[in-house]
Copies of this chain bind each other. A is one copy, B any other.
């Protein structure tokens, strides 16, 4: 069957489903789809992720959500309960471990055993597939806040089946955003198809009266991704999800660090997501936004990490995103303790509360940056539709082949790896080399101009060394990389 951006038929879905459930033993437990839906229906509405986001959007409230995952069910329960109460989290995640993400469930079994034996988590997340609906439902039932799976799984079909059947009402990911930054050589054909399945699955729950939220992973590699590139990909994944019938979509963006550019990017993303959805006939979708606190290398010093966390929170509050994904003071070292995790949340909550009745006001500068990001994004999306000859799924495949879509610093061989980003003198991320990204002459000149300005001020050439300096800058305590430090 040829890949196309169209709704999967129920027959096709059921056929694929049978195969998916066979890929690990816990799949058998959810063979009866109606029972899954029945269970999901029984979850109280105040634990519904999609509804909580919708109401936050309507009330201009910014919600906060941590990352958190450990190997064992009981530990995961304790961890998330702690983050609910002590951490004041509004939404809960289950961060899935990296073996599950690669569908290596045997490794997970080993990890679970070793964790039991050594009494510390040997996995960097929660192996939801191995725990099956027994563990996943128990977890959900032990908590009072809505639950979401957060992962990075190219083929998340079985995982998605198990979590929704356990009453988790949100799933992060997408055919691009959980492929390019998260794998080396998985084809986009396969991941787009597999995520069409995940989207269709969410939509079937929705059609059965259980709102399910889907969240494309906005930050991609988290490393100097120009806003227009991540926005374009978020909008594409929103359209792909909508095509499968998804009704609750959260588009995301990872902080770049220049406050004006970040606010502009969020505004552009909100506007253009709705514009494109409407243009393609999707009129009744609830779109919300998520802002990721700085996703690149973090400073090791905890006080400085707090500074980075709170600074990001101010931007989120000013941009009035629907939710913020929170980092912790342990970020530079490793998976945080539950205390460090709660501390990141409390620091964020404080800032969000202090700023709850405040927002960014439009200035000429902000308007300008919104326009630039929108224009760049439009150049990219126009080209994607063009090379897809009207079909978005095909367009994506073609666009990646040609470098129209291109993600910097990605592990995947399926991105052209031709663009090079760098910060301008104000810290905004620009295209140092746009590779084959089809920006207009004017936009290319603007990007170039802004970087030349930095080069002049820093008395050096525009070059890859700038990019390298920028990669280390934040972890070394500043935003814009410097040629040499004294």
List residues of chain A with CB under 8 Å of any chain B CB.
257-260, 299, 301-311, 313-314, 318, 342-351, 353-358, 361-366, 425-427, 474, 477-480
Minimum Cβ distance to chain B for residue A344 (Å): 7
Instruction: Please report the C-alpha to C-alpha distance between residue A355 and residue B478 in the assembled complex, in whole angstroms.
Output: 8
**Given known A-B contacts A303-B347, A304-B346, A307-B347, A357 and B425 have beta carbons under 8 A apart:** yes
Say whether A361 contacts B260, CB under 8 Å: yes
Q: Closest B-chain residue to A301, C-beta based?
A: B346
**Given known A-B contacts A311-B351, A353-B478, A363-B363, A358 and B304 have beta carbons under 8 A apart:** no
Say whether A354 contacts B308, CB under 8 Å: yes
Instruction: Please report the C-alpha to C-alpha distance between residue A304 and residue B310 in the assembled complex, in whole angstroms.
Output: 10
Which of the residues B260, B303, B342 comes within 8 Å of A346, measured between beta carbons? B303
Instruction: Please report the C-alpha to C-alpha distance between residue A357 and residue B304 in the assembled complex, in whole angstroms.
Output: 18
Say whether A478 contacts B354, CB under 8 Å: yes
Which of the residues B314, B349, B425 comes within 8 Å of A304, measured between beta carbons? B349
Number of copies: 2
Q: Closest B-chain residue to A423, C-beta based?
A: B357
- Which chain B positions have C-beta within 8 A of A358? 258-260, 426-427
Minimum Cβ distance to chain B for residue A224 (Å): 15
Say whether B427 contacts A346, CB under 8 Å: no
Instruction: Please report the C-alpha to C-alpha distance between residue A364 and residue B365 in the assembled complex, in whole angstroms.
Output: 12
Instruction: Please report the C-alpha to C-alpha distance between residue A301 and residue B310 in the assembled complex, in whole angstroms.
Output: 15
Given A306-B307, A361-B366, 7 more pairs with CB closer than 8 A: A302-B343, A303-B342, A306-B347, A308-B354, A353-B477, A356-B479, A357-B480
Instruction: Please report the C-alpha to C-alpha distance between residue A259 and residue B311 in the assembled complex, in whole angstroms.
Output: 13
CB-CB nearest 9 A-B residue pairs = A307-B350, A310-B310, A361-B363, A303-B343, A303-B346, A306-B306, A304-B350, A361-B365, A307-B347
- Which chain B positions have C-beta within 8 A of A306? 303, 306-307, 309-310, 347, 350
- Which chain B positions have C-beta within 8 A of A344? 303
Minimum Cβ distance to chain B for residue A458 (Å): 11
Which of the residues B299, B342, B354 comes within 8 Å of A350, measured between beta carbons? B299
Instruction: Please report the C-alpha to C-alpha distance between residue A302 and residue B480 in the assembled complex, in whole angstroms.
Output: 29
Instruction: Please report the C-alpha to C-alpha distance between residue A133 and residue B310 in the assembled complex, in whole angstroms.
Output: 42
Identify which of A301, A344, A348, A365 gathers the most chain B CB atoms within 10 Å of its CB. A301
Minimum Cβ distance to chain B for residue A392 (Å): 36
Say whether B479 contacts A354, CB under 8 Å: yes
Say whether B479 contacts A259, CB under 8 Å: no
- Which chain B positions have C-beta within 8 A of A314? 259, 310-311, 314
- Which chain B positions have C-beta within 8 A of A299? 350
Instruction: Please report the C-alpha to C-alpha distance between residue A302 and residue B346 in the assembled complex, in whole angstroms.
Output: 9
Say whether A351 contacts B259, CB under 8 Å: no
16 contacts between A and B (CB under 8 A): A257-B354, A259-B318, A301-B350, A303-B344, A303-B345, A304-B349, A307-B354, A311-B354, A350-B477, A353-B477, A354-B427, A355-B479, A357-B480, A361-B363, A361-B364, A361-B365
Instruction: Please report the C-alpha to C-alpha distance between residue A254 and residue B327 in the assembled complex, in whole angstroms.
Output: 29
Q: Closest B-chain residue to A425, C-beta based?
A: B357
- Which chain B positions have C-beta within 8 A of A362? 363-364
Say whether B357 contacts A307, CB under 8 Å: no
- Which chain B positions have C-beta within 8 A of A259? 314, 318, 355, 358
